[in-house]
Amino acid sequence: RNLSFSIRAGETTALTGPSGSGKTTILNMILDLNPPTQGMIAVDGRDLATIDRSSWLKLLSVSGQDVELMEGTVLDNIRFRRDIPDEDIRWAADVACATEFIEDLPYGFDEWLGDEAIRLSGGQRQRIGLARALASRPQILILDEATSALDEETEMRVFSAIKQDAGRTLIVVSHRPAVARLMKNQIDLRPPAAIAKLR
Ligand SMILES: Nc1ncnc2c1ncn2[C@@H]1O[C@H](COP(=O)(O)OP(=O)(O)OP(=O)(O)O)[C@@H](O)[C@H]1O
Ligand SMILES: [Mg+2]
């Protein structure tokens, strides 16, 4: 309610606030999954509701806390049935700090992932998900707790690699203040009274 903010194109923005404050709900509205009940979301001043959905979604990539792996190789899992050249997959795996553990798997990028296959850790799955989101080289990258299972050192390396690929709009939800501080802008969903109390 009564929330208004801008996310600037080509800049990095953190969306922070306590559990249940509406971060994922806002991302879902940006992803055009549910419309706001009041007010509107505008893209370059134009109501998102009037913009062609598929051309809008082509600009976006999203990764979250839980990553569903599909039956297939590591390469298949990053490509995710899209027409993406191998070199872009490798680049995305590098940026996501995934190459370092993939190359340690017995079959590397050809390792089979699935029910009967090698069990990846939570942080490894998240890095596959991140590489999947990066591989299409999206204009707008949305990360909702997408690195929550990583250790702090790896998480920082991931974000510095993502930020090096400049020009992209990055929207990051994270409960870790160190991650939020890496972003140029911060949108805090706590009510103003709660923020005032902390000062
Ligand atoms: N249209 C709606 N009307 C009323 N309540 C809603 C509506 N949409 C979402 N909510 C509620 O708002 C809350 C916001 O949840 P949301 O998942 O966005 O929080 P979050 O900030 O992402 O939390 P977390 O940090 O735990 O992921 C939830 O309790 C949800 O049920
Ligand atoms: Mg959430």
Q: Which ligand is nearest to the CA of 175?
A: 1
**CATH code at position 68:** 3.40.50.300
Residue given tokens 């949305």 in the structure block:
142
pLDDT tens, position by position, 42-89: 999 999 999 999 999 999 999 999 999 999 999 999 999 999 999 999
Q: Is residue 6 part of a domain?
A: no
Domain count, the chain: 1
Separation of 10 CA from ligand 2 center, angstroms? 23
| Binding site membership of 24 for ligand 1 (Cβ less than 6 Å) | yes
Q: Is residue 127 part of a domain?
A: yes
Q: Is residue 2 part of a domain?
A: no
Nearest CA to ligand 1 atom 7: 25
Mutation probe of ligand 1 site: the residue of 25, 65, 145, 189 with most atoms within 8 A of C-beta: 25
| Binding site membership of 125 for ligand 1 (Cβ less than 6 Å) | no
pLDDT at 110 over 70: yes
Q: Is residue 32 part of a domain?
A: yes
Q: What would the two tokens of residue 169 be?
A: 């709009």
Q: Is residue 4 part of a domain?
A: no
Rg (C-alpha) for the chain, rounded Å, is 18
Q: What would the two tokens of residue 101 be?
A: 């553990």
pLDDT at 117 over 70: no
The CA–CA distances, whole Å, from 125 to 91, 97, 119 equal: 17, 12, 9
**What CA–CA distance (Å, rounded) separates 3 from 51?**
22
**What CA–CA distance (Å, rounded) separates 148 from 167?**
24
Question: Which residues form the domain of 145?
Answer: 12-198
pLDDT tens, position by position, 159-193: 999 998 878 999 999 999 999 999 999 999 987 77
**What CA–CA distance (Å, rounded) separates 96 from 133?**
10
**What CA–CA distance (Å, rounded) separates 185 from 196?**
19
DSSP tag of 119: P
| Binding site membership of 65 for ligand 1 (Cβ less than 6 Å) | no
Instruction: Give 192 or 106, the one with higher predicted confidence.
Output: 106
